Structure 1
Amino acid sequence: MSGTVTSSTTATAANAATANTRLTGDFNTFLTLLTTQLQNQSPTDPLDTNQMTNQLVQFASVEQQIAMNQNLERLISMQQASQVTAAAPLIGQRAEVTSDSLTLQNGQAELRLPAAGTARTAQVRVLDGTGRAVRSETVTLGTGATSWTWNGKDSSGRTLADGAYRVQVTGRGANGEEAPITFTVAGTITGAERVNNEMTLSMGGMNVGFDSLRRLLPGN
């Protein structure tokens, strides 16, 4: 399966360069004023050398700080690029992620449910973009993890388009009372992207944060 790996950078480095340019202009103006003042100072009231030295030190300190920030931005950009590159082998892999959306890919979607505990059953509801329930099913939990698959058809048997669908899972106890339940969504990773300093993975029409990745599945 084809995939994409892209990266975007922030404007912080450009801002640092602008600040450095502005500082350079201010520093040159300061030196011009200082030279003029030295040339025209009164012999009876000479320029305070301590004050002049302090001003020079302040300019030098700010300039060094801006240069340090620029170097840090370069390191961050390199690290971000390496993270995107490192994500490339994940393209085409099936994985489990935490998400409140279900990814329908090639007419198939999969939900991973835990073993029975306080919750004995799980009520699964799939919602479209308008919030309308397109599929609802009650799943009995077993002694081990349970996979619930969806063939992409709504309750009337109509085949829906691939994409991301909201999913709601409600656990029910032995007496039908609501019980806490956790679940993960399984799908194939189709892309990786870094936007605004955050790494995201694409699984068809669904995007999740890289920190949502829980497990890579065998049999890819």
Structure 2
Amino acid sequence: MTAISGFANATATTQTNPVARNSVEAEGLSTMFLELLVAQIRHQNPLDPLDGTQYVSQLAEFANVESLQAMKISLNKNSNLLDSLQALEATALVGTLVDVKADAVVLEQRAAVRGAINLGVEAEAVNVKLYSADGNLVSEQQLAYSGVGTLRFEFPAQAVGGYYVQATATINGRPQPLQTWLSGEVERVSVGASKDDIMLQVNGLGNHGLLEINQLAYKG
């Protein structure tokens, strides 16, 4: 059963919203500048008044501060919008297969073990082995080598239990370990206050951050 949770944490009140807070700060800067300007004029020496160019210079500096504040508000609005879009995108992943960085999986029902490896250099051979939780070799595959890039693998349906995958590439006659990415279905999405708090619960593979996904897994 799939579920989506955490939307309450993704919303913020006006008091804690950074955009609203920045707007208040901008208004405060305007009020403060006007008060200082009035006080400066009121308390200036009538025998030696300030030059008008000094006021113009102060106004120019304040205009720069206001521009920077407006830019900050605009950037915060765009950032909040992107966070919301990423949260919506994440919830749309429920029920889909994704690749996550892992080498172990727990099957709660009979199912295939599939995944991928990313080969960054040319190799003479690429080998993937499937082991049971107690360390026994269950199956082994020699992947069809097609050059640098992503190579996918799949072990036919396995019994309920824990498994881990080990991949190696033979490069210049020497075996080199490879990072494995295992495929699983997204069962649940937890959305926090920002994109960094978005977590995906992947069937048999645990919890992973949205940014930790390698790619959508191909479902053949």
Specify the TM-score bucket, using the shorter chain as the normaliser: 0.5 to 0.7
Provide the alpha-carbon RMSD of the alignment. 3.9
- Shift of the 44–86 alpha-carbon distance from structure 1 to 2, 3 Å rule, reads same
1:4 equivalent in structure 2: 4
Q: Does the aligned pair in 2 maintain the 1:172–1:178 contact within 8 Å? A: yes
Q: TM-score, normalised by structure 1?
A: 0.64
2:76 matches 1:76? no
Partner letter of residue 65 of structure 2?
Answer: V
2:195 equivalent in structure 1: 197
- Shift of the 152–48 alpha-carbon distance from structure 1 to 2, 3 Å rule, reads farther
Q: Does the aligned pair in 1 maintain the 2:116–2:181 contact within 8 Å? A: yes
- Shift of the 62–2 alpha-carbon distance from structure 1 to 2, 3 Å rule, reads same
Q: Which runs of 5+ in 2 are unaligned?
A: 118-122, 145-151
2:128 matches 1:122? yes
For 1:83-162, what aligned pairs fall within 5 Å after superposition? 83-95=86-98, 97-107=99-109, 110-112=113-115, 118-119=124-125, 121-124=127-130, 134-137=134-137, 139-142=139-142, 144=144, 146-148=153-155, 151-153=159-161
Q: Does the aligned pair in 2 maintain the 1:103–1:203 contact within 8 Å? A: no
Q: Give the superposition deviation at 1:190.
A: 1.6
Q: Does the aligned pair in 1 maintain the 2:101–2:212 contact within 8 Å? A: no
Q: Which runs of 5+ in 1 are unaligned?
A: 127-132, 155-164
Q: Give the superposition deviation at 1:69.
A: 1.8
Aligned length: 196
Q: TM-score, normalised by structure 2?
A: 0.64
Q: Does the aligned pair in 2 maintain the 1:191–1:201 contact within 8 Å? A: yes
1:158 equivalent in structure 2: none
